Structure 1
Amino acid sequence: MMNKLIFGRFIPGDSLIHRLDPRAKLVASFYFIGIIFLANNWQSYLFLAVFTMVAVLLSKINLTFFLKGVRPLIWLIIFTVALQVLFTQGGTLYWSWGVFSLSSYGIQNGLFIFCRFVLIIFMSTLLTLTTPPLSMSDAIESLLNPLKKLHLPVHEIALMLSIALRFVPTLMDETEKIMNAQRARGVDFSDGNLIQKVKAIVPLLIPLFVSSFNRAEDLATAMEARGYRGGEGRSKYRKLQWSARDTSIISVFAVATIILLFLRS
Structure 2
Amino acid sequence: MTRVDTPVRRGPIAALNPVAKLGAALLIALPLVLTIDPVSAAVALVLELPLLLAAGLRWREFWLRTVPIWIAAPLAGVTIALYGATSGEVYAEWFVVRISEGSLMLALATFFRVLAIGLPAVVLFVTVDPTDLADGLAQLLKLPARFVLGALAGMRLLGLLTDDWRALALARRARGVADTGRVRRVVGMAFALFVLSIRRGSTLATAMEARGFGGDGSRTWARESRFGGDGSRTWARESRFGWREWMLLAAGAAISATAVTVAVRTGAWNFILGPV
Q: TM-score normalized by structure 1?
A: 0.72
Which residue pairs with 1:216 in the alignment?
A: 201
Same amino acid, percent of matched pairs: 22
- Return the offset for 1:143: 4.9
Residue type of the partner of 1:28? A
Q: Could you tell me how far apart the structure 2 residues matched to 1:207 and 1:263 are?
A: 55
Whether the 8 Å contact between 1:21 and 1:246 is mirrored in structure 2 is: yes
Deviation at 1:118, TM superposition (A): 3.5
- Count of matched residue pairs: 242
The question of 1:228 aligning with 2:224 is answered no
Which residue identity is paired with 2:205?
A
Deviations 1:104-161 (A, max 9, x none): 322332343233333433222233321211111122224542x7xxxxxx21222233
Question: Aligned partner of 2:53: which letter?
Answer: L
Distance in 1 between the 2:90 and 2:46 partners?
32
- Matching of residue 114 in structure 1 with residue 128 in structure 2: no
- 1:150 counterpart residue number: none
What displacement does 1:34 show? 0.9
Q: Deviations over 1:153-205 (max 9, x none)?
A: x212222333344444543x34873797599745798xxxxxx7xx7753452
Greater C-alpha Rg: 2
1:85 aligned onto 2:81? yes
- Structure 2 residue runs of 5 or longer lacking an equivalent are 218-231, 269-276
Describe how 1:17-28 pairs up with structure 2 within 5 A.
Answer: 17-28=13-24
**Contact 1:15 1:58 (C-alpha < 8 Å) held by counterparts:** yes
The CA RMSD over aligned residues, in Å, is 3.7
Give the corresponding residue for 1:95: 92
Quick check: 1:155 aligned with 2:145?
Answer: yes
1 or 2, which has the higher helix percentage?
Answer: 1
Q: How much has 1:235 moved relative to structure 2?
A: 0.8
Q: Structure 1 unaligned runs (5+)?
A: 1-8, 148-153, 190-195
Give the SS at the match of 1:60. coil
Q: Does 1:177 align with 2:175?
A: no
Distance change in 2, residues 1:220/1:72 (3 Å):
farther
Q: TM-score, normalised by structure 2?
A: 0.69
Q: Is the 8 A contact 2:165 2:189 kept in 1?
A: no
